[in-house]
Chains A and B, each alone.
Chain A
């Protein structure tokens, strides 16, 4: 087994036994990037040379994670390294400070290998909306890796970094994890500080992890979780060790499976795979029951209203004055605003700003935005009702496997509909994890999602871990088919 194929907890064991060195880990990943990046195109900025220097500087860091590489989604601010959000607007933006999660990553002695591609400003589900490049799915290079954290998912699946950080506003960690056959965790809203994450929809955004297996998710969550004064929505809670939750035992666990997520919109092979997951959980001693979460369609519509409304406000700051792209074509201040924004934003970002401005504009506010905020209460209540009976809720992560590059780019609504299973989780602020559960007939990965009560990361991590340890799907490796 090559070093780049190992999980981080396996790397740590081997380091501990002195079977490998940090230099060998670095070299293995560097070689892998040299070999695979030209096919996969996961990085916007590669900093492996800087990483080499950093590893020397951090040689005496006592943290057990010192010297472990990581990849960072390009909407998380990294001091001294470009943070582009995959947008022309921020093509040359160098953040003057680190995001709180980056401070934590640095304190733990990890070394960033670079910034990973994404849909522009995290708006999209395929990473095709990047201004710079289209990232390919390592399982089949003609397919999308999912999005918006597509670069993060593809880099981990291809073994170019052992793990990565992403962000999830409506499924942007879980869906690409599912498309690329890895584990993606979106924590409870407020568990991880958003300070230094470029805002898309502030009431929905959350930073999380993309890893090869569940134990690595727990390890990385241990590093990034925690209260932060700089994020007023961050939760002030006692620190937990999530690795301690991994018991490989789900006896007595009560799982609800909402029937609404097995309708016409879900691909047959995905349904079959999820049915096998249910069967597995039963064998392992969990109770699985059909339940109802009758808000699926409302939730999706609500998501696009709220997310776009918040985006139209958040992206108002890009005006060509303080940072970001400035047009060359202007005579007065108004020209700077309008022309910089019109030239700096891509088509999908403009589409969402227009939709967001529309639903917030006088005359439509009550019909859309206000209603959406009420539906949000409805969605929260529906989950609460189910969580009175069940410990976790199980659904597919995505309605289908990864699609062909270019196949949905001209149909925004169809792209939005693909987020059916993931967006309600953000609306209710709950934790969700996507776990690989097989391949379809074309050899593309399928994932299932476990949703937990607020701050019940331990419960979903243990449920995910138990499934993973009793199946072999994590051993499937991408083949870079052409």
Chain B
């Protein structure tokens, strides 16, 4: 399994990560090695088998439509790097 430099940079972009030049080579090597190993799933006898997304039987879980007390806004905002007037603050996105 060959992974190109362009591919790893594309993946890093999708994942919102910057990679330094020396990191690109390390991650490329590791990714290739791990994918070569992981490729074994393509040899598994899985013809006709369904996909399992989770181990418990898939079902919808409902709860009662009741008003319950939610978490305190000020407490939640205490972990925010920047907040103003009860809201999370981010740089301007519209000119």
- B35 contact set on A, CB distance < 8 A: 355, 358, 368
Q: Decide: A378 near B46, CB < 8 A? Known: A93-B79, A96-B78, A350-B17.
A: yes
A364 CB to closest chain B CB (Å) equals 9
Asked whether A322 lies within 8 Å of B34 as measured between CB atoms, the reply is: no
Asked whether A380 lies within 8 Å of B55 as measured between CB atoms, the reply is: yes
Asked whether B11 lies within 8 Å of A358 as measured between CB atoms, the reply is: yes
- A374 contact set on B, CB distance < 8 A: 44, 46, 49-52
Interface size class of A (residues with CB under 8 A): 35 or more
A46 CB to closest chain B CB (Å) equals 22
Is B67 positioned at the interface, with any CB of A under 8 Å from its CB? no
Is A370 positioned at the interface, with any CB of B under 8 Å from its CB? yes
Is B54 positioned at the interface, with any CB of A under 8 Å from its CB? yes
Q: Decide: A320 near B33, CB < 8 A? Known: A203-B54, A301-B40.
A: no
Distance of A368 Cα from B90 Cα, bound (Å): 37
Asked whether A376 lies within 8 Å of B40 as measured between CB atoms, the reply is: no
Distance of A321 Cα from B87 Cα, bound (Å): 11
Asked whether A326 lies within 8 Å of B82 as measured between CB atoms, the reply is: yes
Q: Mark each residue of chain B from 29 to 56: 1 if its CB lies under 8 Å from any CB of chain A, else 0.
A: 0110111011111111110011111111
B16 CB to closest chain A CB (Å) equals 5
Distance of A429 Cα from B55 Cα, bound (Å): 6
Distance of A216 Cα from B80 Cα, bound (Å): 39
Total interface residues on B, CB under 8 Å, equals 50
Asked whether A377 lies within 8 Å of B34 as measured between CB atoms, the reply is: no
- B61 contact set on A, CB distance < 8 A: 232
Residue from B33, B34, B63, B79 whose CB has the most chain A CB atoms within 10 Å: B34
Asked whether B55 lies within 8 Å of A235 as measured between CB atoms, the reply is: no
Asked whether A298 lies within 8 Å of B40 as measured between CB atoms, the reply is: yes
Is A1 positioned at the interface, with any CB of B under 8 Å from its CB? no
Is A304 positioned at the interface, with any CB of B under 8 Å from its CB? yes
Q: Interface SS of chain A: helix, strand, loop or mixed?
A: helix
Q: Decide: A312 near B15, CB < 8 A? Known: A94-B79, A355-B34.
A: yes
The segment from A12-20, A142-150, A238-246, A333-341 found at the interface with B is A333-341
A197 CB to closest chain B CB (Å) equals 16
Asked whether B31 lies within 8 Å of A358 as measured between CB atoms, the reply is: yes
Name A80-102 residues within 8 Å CB distance of B. Answer: 92-94, 96-97
Name B1-27 residues within 8 Å CB distance of A. Answer: 3, 8, 11-12, 14-19, 23, 27
A399 CB to closest chain B CB (Å) equals 15
Asked whether B38 lies within 8 Å of A368 as measured between CB atoms, the reply is: yes
Asked whether B34 lies within 8 Å of A350 as measured between CB atoms, the reply is: no
- A370 contact set on B, CB distance < 8 A: 51
Identify which of A330, A333, A371 contacts B44 (C-beta below 8 A). A371
Asked whether A331 lies within 8 Å of B91 as measured between CB atoms, the reply is: yes
A306 CB to closest chain B CB (Å) equals 9
Q: Decide: A371 near B79, CB < 8 A? Known: A190-B56, A233-B54, A235-B56.
A: no
Asked whether A376 lies within 8 Å of B51 as measured between CB atoms, the reply is: yes
Asked whether B91 lies within 8 Å of A378 as measured between CB atoms, the reply is: no
A186 CB to closest chain B CB (Å) equals 13
Asked whether A416 lies within 8 Å of B34 as measured between CB atoms, the reply is: yes
Identify which of A96, A305, A355 contacts B76 (C-beta below 8 A). A96
Is A353 positioned at the interface, with any CB of B under 8 Å from its CB? yes
- B33 contact set on A, CB distance < 8 A: 412-413
- A351 contact set on B, CB distance < 8 A: 27, 30-31
Residue from A301, A322, A326 whose CB has the most chain B CB atoms within 10 Å: A301
A207 CB to closest chain B CB (Å) equals 16
Asked whether A189 lies within 8 Å of B56 as measured between CB atoms, the reply is: yes
| Known A354-B31, A375-B41, A380-B55; 15 more pairs at CB < 8 Å | A229-B63, A298-B40, A305-B38, A319-B16, A330-B91, A337-B16, A338-B17, A342-B18, A355-B34, A358-B3, A358-B11, A359-B38, A377-B49, A378-B44, A413-B30
Residues of B whose CB lies within 8 Å of any CB of A are 3, 8, 11-12, 14-19, 23, 27, 30-31, 33-35, 37-46, 49-56, 61, 63, 71-72, 75-76, 78-82, 88, 90-91, 93
10 pairs, A vs B, C-beta closer than 8 Å: A97-B71, A295-B44, A305-B41, A324-B81, A341-B16, A345-B17, A373-B51, A374-B52, A416-B34, A427-B55
